[in-house]
Amino acid sequence: MRAVITVIGRDTVGIIAKTSAILSKNNVNILDITQSVLGDIFAMVMFADITDSTVPFGDLQTELENLGREIGVQIMAVHEDIFNAMHTV
């Protein structure tokens, strides 16, 4: 199973490190990552393998959302199936 994780907000030091630390702690493998900074806005998309995650996906989503609030960005994790359904006409 895979997930799409997006991070958007003001650029600060440690966004990638802190997000990656949560994924690593929960045994989630980052398959692909892209990020850019537009002015002072940070935008990142990660594609991650959640097959071997040590926590249920809902708990992982909550942990990432809480991190986002803590560091002042929005972090959203969506299961690949939901992401595909949202973008299929």
* pLDDT tens per residue across span 63-88: 999 999 999 999 999 987 776 677 67
Please name the amino acid found at residue 57: F
- Token pair for 7: 């991070």
Closest CA to 48 of 34, 64, 28, 74: 28
**What is the distance between the alpha carbons of residues 73 and 68, in angstroms, rounded to a whole number?**
5
* Whether 12 contacts 68, CB under 8 Å: no
Contact 44, 35 (CB under 8 A): yes
The pLDDT tens digits of the residues spanning 53-66 come to 999 999 999 999 99
Tell me, yes or no, if the pTM score tops 0.85.
yes
